[in-house]
Structure 1
């Protein structure tokens, strides 16, 4: 199977043949948005330039800003926490569950204050957070789902993305569905979709939940008042949307191959008690952006395992991101002037010991590739894992 097929190429050529003329417009962004909504059960989907602008926009649409706190997990790519800083709010880090690696509802309760205005969950590696417990913990606080790594993940029989007021998806090059860069922001609220679209599109008055482009006759009117509120330019291009549309139409096969390979990887380490796969919550289904396994032996270093795996034919292993609050940007409060919005009582906690479960997990994660488009290549990786486990057993 090809990562990018002739279908995506045909849609890209359709855009190029239009020569980007308004009179020949393909409406590709709108088509991709509608297709995404139909495929993943959303009322409103909005195409973005990336999956970080989606999170920033969600926060702005909820009116979150200086003095507000947003609870986020530390064990994920730091763009999640960055989006909070971009909204001039304060990231507060909740610890993760030691078995599932997902944000822990008990830690969320411990971190909630009278300044907490939202919670962001991350469907880490394609696994599902425990939404039922999270929703009970946060009450009326809005939940934003960062589902960058999760297409086809299910929780209690439902596609994730339906538990928060917003759900965000990444279409970056490593994701299940990819256009190189890109993102989707989804919501079932017309009010939230309208606010998000305006913020995404330079505050244009004519755009809204299902309208991403201003009519040509309005643009050419000298008396037309364009900008209703301050906004950013996070809009998806037609070329990106063309690839996205093709990927959505092929999404079943692109998602299923990851699930099949991920489950095979987890099955391969059942006989090695010191290799512990990421657990799932009951009645949830993993979609395996990667297959994360915890190395629980102190006599083997992460690099030793990786190097031996590669000796046996493995392509390599993803390490977990450094915890966000231990990155230099947080250690030095180098927030481009936004540090003035951070309460020192919060920033003083950006040290080791803040989230002990995450600190234990992070250096031990062996995240194995699942994006093997040829089953023969997948078999080689799985065999290399078996040999590596037996070597160290």
Structure 2
């Protein structure tokens, strides 16, 4: 059983992927070829955003967004401690300070009720993370932010909806990733920024090509953050079936929930949200034992994420130890992601759920003092 079956997907769209890639090989415009603009136009239209700026990775997308907002030394950026390190890593890399706010227990996203107390005169941006495929509560976050720019880290939620609007078009700038395992993934690294602000769009386009506005003229400092044309070709082929695959992901998630029947804590969607289920993440007791048992039964699992960022050695300088963000710390000890992809057959879903229910029951009975 595959955790994410990219080979099954490729078999479905092989002709389109091969044709798209061959076209790039034929015209040989491997950097900023015509597929880049075609992709950006399609993704902008999909999200309802005015601008899409493709880039080399989701990590670069965060960097582009913050550089466009002139974030640097002495600034603070508020974000979640329960996410992949890239979110806070880019803040620190620019010389700014990540300021963490704990998450909501039901959707693992930044808790807007705790946000106001984290804002100081040095706050230059707020960066909520739309984790596991469901958007953070962007209306509440934008309201608390006031005039402070909000960057949605939508690396896992591209294609999800919030109050009928698309992820990546819910704030000042939306950033996403096209890492191969994402709901819309290329065959390498890739990412994009989205905005409705003409000035920010122009600046991000300059920053991704070493800060230039025309050849050998550099009004701002930038870096090499371009998306390869070959990756754009792959994304164009995949985008043709993306909405169908979102529906298939919802099918898998619905089937999981039905088979679990409250045996474990399954993903909980807010009524105004949809999810693209970048991961299908449940909570279990005695996770290590459960994972070992599932592995022996041929069921792969993963943990996203086992150590909150405030407890990572790289952020020890912030001085926030165990107990600083209890909801994030509890989630980090309990979350476990199960196989999830659009082409997952029903018999595999049944195999996974049966195995999980069996071994969670075994781990409870075997636990000391029970």
* Aligned with 1:2 (options 5, 8, 27): 8
Structure 1 residues 100-121: Cα deviation after superposition (integer angstroms, max 9, x where no partner): 2110012211211111111001
Aligned length, in residue pairs: 353
Deviation (angstroms), 1:372: 5.4
- Is 1:324 matched with 2:309? yes
Distance in 1 between the 2:344 and 2:331 partners?
Answer: 31
TM-score (norm 2): 0.89
Matched with 1:214 is none
| SS of corresponding position for 1:255 | helix
* Structure 2 unaligned spans of 5+: 1-6, 365-370
| SS of corresponding position for 2:128 | strand
The 1:390–1:41 alpha-carbon spacing in structure 2 relative to 1, beyond 3 Å, is same
| SS of corresponding position for 1:92 | strand
TM-score (norm 1): 0.84
Structure 1 residues 170-200: Cα deviation after superposition (integer angstroms, max 9, x where no partner): 0002100111210011111111100111111
| SS of corresponding position for 1:285 | coil
Distance in 1 between the 2:305 and 2:97 partners?
Answer: 23
8 Å contact kept, 1:40–1:159: yes
Instruction: Report 1:122-271 matches (<5 A).
Output: 122-179=129-186, 180-206=188-214, 225-271=216-262
Deviation (angstroms), 1:9: 1.8
- Is 1:308 matched with 2:297? no
* Structure 1 unaligned spans of 5+: 207-218, 220-224, 334-346
The 1:199–1:285 alpha-carbon spacing in structure 2 relative to 1, beyond 3 Å, is same
8 Å contact kept, 1:203–1:232: yes
- Is 1:382 matched with 2:353? yes
* Aligned with 2:126 (options 108, 119, 124): 119
Matched with 1:31 is 38
Matched with 1:55 is 62
Distance in 2 between the 1:271 and 1:171 partners?
Answer: 33
Deviation (angstroms), 1:227: 1.9
The 1:294–1:374 alpha-carbon spacing in structure 2 relative to 1, beyond 3 Å, is closer
8 Å contact kept, 2:77–2:125: yes
Distance in 1 between the 2:152 and 2:259 partners?
Answer: 31
Distance in 2 between the 1:21 and 1:152 partners?
Answer: 27
8 Å contact kept, 1:77–1:321: no
Matched with 1:290 is 279
